Amino acid sequence: MKRLLLFLGGWLVISAWGNEPILPLPDPRPLSEAARLGERLFHDPRLSGSGRISCATCHRLDEGGDDGLPLPTVQNGSHPHNTPTVFNAAFNYRLHWYGDLTSLEQQARAALQRDMQVDWQKTLLRLKADTGYRKVFDNLFGGLTADSVVAALVAFENTLITPDAPLDRYLRGDTAALTPQQQRGYALFKAHGCSACHQGINVGGNLLQQLGVFGRYRSGDPGRIAVTGRKEDRNVFRVPSLRNVAVTAPYFHDGRVKTLKKAVELMAQYQLGIRMKAGEIDAIVAFLNSLTGRYHSRPIGKRQ
């Protein structure tokens, strides 16, 4: 066995062992001035068209980086998809449930425009009325523009890393980091083929896959075909990251599944074509709990 050095999105990632399908997360970068500015913007409702909601309204950093709702309520009514966590999104190959966005910059622009209904002319006037904002933007970006707002948000989102999960410590050689049941769950996770889609540094987030390989999951959502128009993309979604999955209920793109245990049972049925025994499901759920990391040196808060 050998160690691997990988460069992912500008990050140097060290894998504990070459034969593992999952890579440990690196420590987050220190906050730069641009990231600190982005953090302030992330929590500022003045970015939205109404002036009442912020990025943090749907992406709560004191919990799992999501909103805990089946479907979010945004300014233009209900949203068709469950809110993905913003934590570790920098390591996703694709973003959004349809995988139609390929960068944090694209995602930020789409969320501001669609979900927060930003009116850039009014928003920039609001922000420029704040002398503190105006001074920092002038120093860092040469001015306060839509592009510099997005750049600051992206700088902050790149720091939203939740390292030091028990599995990360295990992959780096601390064999006592996982309980015996979690180790059994990890072995089952690999043996049953879960890691074929949920692998890499984000335990997912890097593939597009049909939901319902062994039977259609009925949600009324057309999947990626809504973006491409190709019949073969019906019911295809981005495979979500499982990082911090124990604290980001409810699950699936429609937020229909309330518990992690049920999610594992349904994934085994629809994606693997098997009915797992109760003991196997419990072990895999225990393993998935080992994917909960830390933010600002504190464990991510549990919701279930």
Q: Is residue 250 part of a domain?
A: yes
The reply to whether 171 and 262 lie within a common domain is yes
Domain end, chosen from 157, 177, 209, is at 157
Instruction: Classify residue 152: in a domain, yes or no.
Output: yes
Q: Please write down the long-range contacts of 293-299, taking CB distance under 8 Å and 24 or more positions apart.
A: 293/25, 293/87, 293/161, 293/162, 293/163, 293/164, 293/165, 293/168, 293/243, 293/244, 294/162, 294/163, 294/164, 294/165, 295/61, 295/87, 295/160, 295/162
Domain boundary among 157, 172, 192: 157
Residue 146, domain member (yes or no): yes
Residue 151 lies in a domain: yes
Give the range of the structural domain holding residue 237, as residue numbers without chain letter: 162-299
Task: Write the pLDDT tens digit of every residue in 201-231.
Answer: 999 999 999 999 998 888 889 999 999 999 9
Domain boundary, last residue among 157, 190, 207: 157
Confidence of residue 113 (pLDDT cuts 50, 70, 90): very high
* Dihedral-angle region of residue 208 (phi above 0 means left; psi in -120 to 50 means alpha; beta otherwise): beta
> What's the pLDDT at 7?
42
**pTM score over 0.75:** yes
**Count of beta carbons in the 10 Å neighbourhood of residue 220:** 6
- Go through 156-165 and write b for each residue having 16 or more CB atoms within 10 A of its CB, e for each that does not: bbbbbbbbbb
Question: Both 139 and 209 in a single domain?
Answer: no
* 146 and 169 assigned to the same domain: no
Give how many domains the chain has, as a whole number. 2
Between 77-81, 104-108, 119-123, 153-157, the lowest mean confidence (pLDDT) is in 77-81
Asked, for residue 102, whether it belongs to a domain, the answer is yes
Q: What is the pLDDT of residue 77?
A: 58
